[in-house]
Amino acid sequence: MKISHIVFLTSSLMLLNGSVIAAECSLNPLPNSCDNSSSTHCQLDVSRWGVTTANADNSSCFKKLTDFATTQSINKTVDIQFGNGTYKFASPVSASAISRHSSTMQFSFNDSRIAIANKTSNNLLQIKGRGKDGANMTRLEFIGFQQNNGVSTIRLNGISVLASKYVSISDLSLTHDRYPFSQGIIEPSSINSRTDTNVIIKMDAGYGAPQPFARNTTDKSFIVTYKSDTTFEKVPSDIQFEGFTDLGGGRYELLNINRDNMGFLYNYHRNDTTLKVTLSPKIGGESLYFYNSDNITGRNIDISNAPAVAIRSWAGGSNLMLDNVNYIRRHINTNSDIAPLMAGTAGGYIIQALRGGLTIKNSLIDHNADDTLGLFSQNIAMTAINSASNQVTVNEKKAQSIHLNDILDIFSSQTLRRSHAKLTVIGINSTGDGNLVLTLDKAFSGANAGDYIGSRSATIGLPGNRFKIQNNVLRHNKGRGIRANASFGDITNNTLTRNGNGGVWLGSDDGSNGQCNSSVTVSNNTFNEQLHGPSVLIHSARGRHVESTDKCQKNITINNNTINNQAKNAPGIFVDNVNKVTINSNTLTSEFSGSSVIKTQLDERLDSSGISKEQRKNTMILSNYAKKVSQSNNSSARGKNTVYSKTANTK
């Protein structure tokens, strides 16, 4: 039997040598004026630029259109208007983004089919469709997930906004030409023993072979289990496999599954043929990608079949608003009666190092393969240190979120704890070789190259510009509903239903996400049957293996939430590593019968703190390593006997 390796080209139109074998768009002559232009407004119809539903690849023509639109936006508002129907984009275009710290330093981006770059005026540039569904639907379809250029594999994005401001994208459906994941049934006859390492999967009709990661040497594919149309209650977070053998007839042998995960397959898939699995490989880039951009709006957009994260924003920028932007499942073959079990392969909306002003509202994220909303005040690794001069060196492309006069903290890469606090940036020097040298106002002895540095102004929200996550529906997602280490914001009026690793988790993770939550409110949300752990969790990974008294989270409010059908073996609310938390007027109405898997990290924390199994089961609110806990008017109608319980570690 032969191990199969699949390489996805940018599209079926492009051979490895780059030659085109199907129709692209054409421009002859190149337009040089607006439609319906005035002194304040420029209307651009995409068809006049050769962008049509008949083309197999509109990328090159649309690049000329966006270049023209960016120039026009210097003096007036610009609308780029699509018509009805499906527009295909296959080839990545080249764009460069100017560094915020140096007018001469430009970063190359060659991984997006549509790119808006260096749009710096305050006049709005809008990309507008006719609608995201129905008779007036405008669909942008991206062909393929990766491009192999003979040297490396490039993971391709859909639309990117790079070092720009005042850009709006609206009334569109964004999707791909094929499923980026596979799904089917594990054959029970292939599971003979817990010590097996391989199993056989039979694919559903319309789904391709198990697909490898773009980075085969470091990443592995994941199996996600579903019962009917919902994530299976007892599924471990990730079951990894390392390769496959093509057996023919839509059957594949998955290789090198470890013993613990094989035990899960043995216990459940061997006996229940109604369980389905999806294979989640994270094989490509993002559908929407925002890099260091300000005042960006997405409105009335549907995203489906994302090859990695549906939306990613990182490396600075401010004021990102997503309104009615939905991540949903879509049939590739509309005649198929087998619904796709996932909307995409990796994550939902991941927001990193924003400098205030995030709003996500009125949106649905459904059947996402990992964490649903991730809000991270991301840190940056220091590549060199000059302690004598109070200077550190960081990667300039990653450090766009750091500005002059920012207050920084340093976090140890070994302990994940903050080692130095309140260092002010008094100088920023671009070295011209891709690095920045930051001069700080005081010494930081003991820090090392490889430690992380983070800005207190890139924490998603700011005191005068809070983040708002409101009126969203997050359901049937494999990971957490909302995962945040962010500050100054409100998570309100959301409905979170049956998310795999819990509802809302406020807490730092690894060194790159090592900062904590401060001044965050979780209120008036409804939690329905979260599967793995509490509906609301405050916990820092920095206290994972030690009896830490580090109060990582500060000034957190948890008010007026309704928790329906909490898992029997986990409290509805668990707060840990927190200083000053208010928990008022929350209600737990009932429990669901099955017990849930609790993530290893949290399970270790509960065990190390001496919290008994009964205490977990019978407590609605549980606090540990907490300080200044204020709780009142909370109630438990059925299931949890103790409304509030605390360990000896709570002061």
- 277-332 pLDDT per residue, tens: 999 888 899 999 999 999 999 999 999 999 999 999 999 999 999 999 999 999 98
- 143-163 pLDDT per residue, tens: 999 988 778 889 999 999 999
Output DSSP code: residue 577: E
- 9-50 pLDDT per residue, tens: 333 333 333 334 348 898 888 898 999 889 999 999 999 999
Phi, psi of 650 (to 5 degrees): -80, 130
Other Cβ atoms less than 10 A from the Cβ of 205: the count is 10
Q: Please check whether residue 327 is in contact with residue 305, taking contact to mean a CB–CB distance below 8 angstroms.
A: no
* Residue owning tokens 């302990």: 415
Q: Please check whether residue 629 is in contact with residue 650, taking contact to mean a CB–CB distance below 8 angstroms.
A: yes
What is the per-residue pLDDT for 163? 97
Rounded to whole angstroms, how far apart are CA atoms 517 and 540? 10
Query: What is residue 569's three-state secondary structure?
Result: coil
Rounded to whole angstroms, how far apart are CA atoms 481 and 376? 14
| Amino acid identity at 124 | L
Rounded to whole angstroms, how far apart are CA atoms 426 and 428? 7
pTM of the model: 0.94
- 609-650 pLDDT per residue, tens: 788 888 888 899 999 989 999 999 999 988 788 999 999 889
Q: Which of 226, 236, 239 is nearest to 183 (CA)?
A: 226
Rounded to whole angstroms, how far apart are CA atoms 373 and 486? 12
What is the per-residue pLDDT for 30? 87
Average pLDDT, the chain: 89
Label residues 484-500 b or e (16+ Cβ within 10 Å = b).
bbbbbbbbbebbbbbbb
Six-digit token string for 413 = 């890469």
Other Cβ atoms less than 10 A from the Cβ of 449: the count is 12
Query: What is residue 63's three-state secondary structure?
Result: helix
What is the per-residue pLDDT for 596? 59
Checking if the pLDDT of 595 tops 60, the result is: no
Alpha-carbon distances of 34 from 45, 79, 117, 378, 585, rounded to whole Å = 9, 10, 20, 41, 57
* Residue owning tokens 């270790």: 604
What is the per-residue pLDDT for 322? 98
The CA-CA-CA angle for residues 88, 93, 95, to 5°, reads 140
Alpha-carbon distances of 16 from 19, 143, 333, rounded to whole Å = 8, 15, 27
Mean pLDDT, rounded, for 471-499:
94
Cβ neighbourhood burial of 631 (10 Å; 0-12, 13-18, 19+) = buried
Six-digit token string for 218 = 């470091």
Does residue 219 or residue 200 have the better pLDDT?
200
Name 128's bridge partners.
Answer: 81, 170
* Torsion angle of C-alpha atoms 367, 370, 372, 378, degrees rounded to 10: -160
The CA-CA-CA angle for residues 500, 503, 504, to 5°, reads 135
Q: Which of 235, 222, 192, 347 is nearest to 284 (CA)?
A: 347
Q: What is the DSSP string of 180-236?
A: SSEEEEE-GGG---TT---EEEEEPTT--SPPPPSSTTT--EEEEEEETTEE-TT--
What is the per-residue pLDDT for 617? 82
Mean pLDDT, rounded, for 529-539:
88
Six-digit token string for 605 = 């924390």
User: Pairing mode, if any, of strands 380-386 and 452-455?
Assistant: antiparallel
Query: What is residue 46's three-state secondary structure?
Result: helix
pLDDT band at 336 (very low <50, low <70, confident <90, very high): low
What is the per-residue pLDDT for 172? 98
Least confidently predicted of 96-100, 334-338, 493-497: 334-338
What is the per-residue pLDDT for 353? 95
N- to C-terminal Cα separation, the chain: 62
* Residue owning tokens 């459904």: 366
Provide the total of helices (H) and of strands (E) in the chain, helices listed first: 4, 49
- Backbone angle region of 54, left / alpha / beta, with phi > 0 → left and psi within -120 to 50 → alpha: alpha
What is the per-residue pLDDT for 12? 36
Rounded to whole angstroms, how far apart are CA atoms 49 and 80? 11
Rounded to whole angstroms, how far apart are CA atoms 520 and 523? 10
Q: Please check whether residue 106 is in contact with residue 97, taking contact to mean a CB–CB distance below 8 angstroms.
A: yes
Output DSSP code: residue 280: E
Checking if the pLDDT of 7 tops 70, the result is: no
Six-digit token string for 198 = 């391989």
Q: What is the DSSP string of 367-391?
A: S-SS-SEEEE---EEEEEEEGGGTE
Q: Please check whether residue 307 is in contact with residue 288, taking contact to mean a CB–CB distance below 8 angstroms.
A: no
